Homo-oligomer: A and B are copies of this chain.
Amino acid sequence: MIEAAEKLLAHSDDQDIATRAVCEAVGVTQPRLYRLFGDKRGLLDAVADAGFERYARHKAQLEQTDDPVVDLYAGWDDHMDFAVANPALYQLMFAPRPHSHSQARRHILGLLEASLLRCSAVGALRIDVSHAAQLILSSNVGVALSRIAEPALFDDGLSHRARDAAFGAVLTQPVASATEDPVGDAARQLHSQLTLTGSEALEPAEESLLERWLERIVERSGRARPEKAQG
């Protein structure tokens, strides 16, 4: 029945299900559902917890590297994959629901803490496990919900950038400095200044062409910059 509810939820366009629909999808009556779950909220909690179990199973198959930091990176990406693959279920698990008794968030935080504990054991963690887990999970959820809510506003590369930002603040590994690309940095700064105030020294056509060139420089240097983490 939980499977049916999740299926209906995934296919419903307004992110809501009717208890009647769930019941007749399984072939049972409504009182049965209410004796089993007590409430519609109870049913949704059960669906959310079932979602966590699937999440945990999928994650258990994945995490077997001997480098805990690599596993951490894979965990973030896996989380994002889960979110985009099951947006409705993901919202059920991570969007605020009043009076929800689902333990999915707490359990996933526990999984993340376990993963971080391994990192901390090899000295890769800069702050304590609990705080790091909160930071990573909330950031990860924020990116996922933002992408679910309005994919047009949030870039495809956002997940990796946010991941590196969160991990950079949490892990002890040296953070790549921005001074590796001085040309790009200077071009970016000038581009912003021109956008903000303009310049009386150039004709409008010249300024427009200059801005295009600066964008090219920034883009080129962004590609050439050594991007360390992918996977």
Q: A residues within 8 Å of B by Cβ?
A: 13-15, 87, 91, 94-99, 105-106, 109, 117-118, 120-123, 125-131, 134-135, 137-143, 145-150, 153-155, 157-158, 161-162, 164-166, 168-170, 172, 175, 178, 182-183, 185-202, 206, 210, 213, 216-221, 224, 226, 229-231
Given the known A-B contacts A134-B158, A142-B142, are A149 and B97 also in contact in the complex, defined by CB atoms under 8 Å? Answer: yes
Identical copies in the complex: 2
- A190:B199 contact, CB within 8 angstroms: no
Q: CA separation between A118 and B192, bound complex, in Å?
A: 8
Per DSSP, chain A at the interface is: helix
Residues in B whose Cβ lies below 8 Å from that of A219: 201
Task: Point out the residue from B99, B161, B192, B196 that lies within 8 Å of A135, measured CB to CB.
Answer: B161
Known contacts A139-B162, A145-B95, A154-B134; is-contact A216 B190 (Cβ 8 Å): no
Choose among B120, B138, B221 the residue that contacts A146 (Cβ–Cβ < 8 A). Answer: B138
Given known contacts A95-B95, A206-B213, is B197 in contact with A190 (CB within 8 Å)? no
Contacts of A226 on B, CB cut-off 8 Å?
197, 200
Contacts of A95 in B (CB 8 A): 91, 95-96, 145, 149
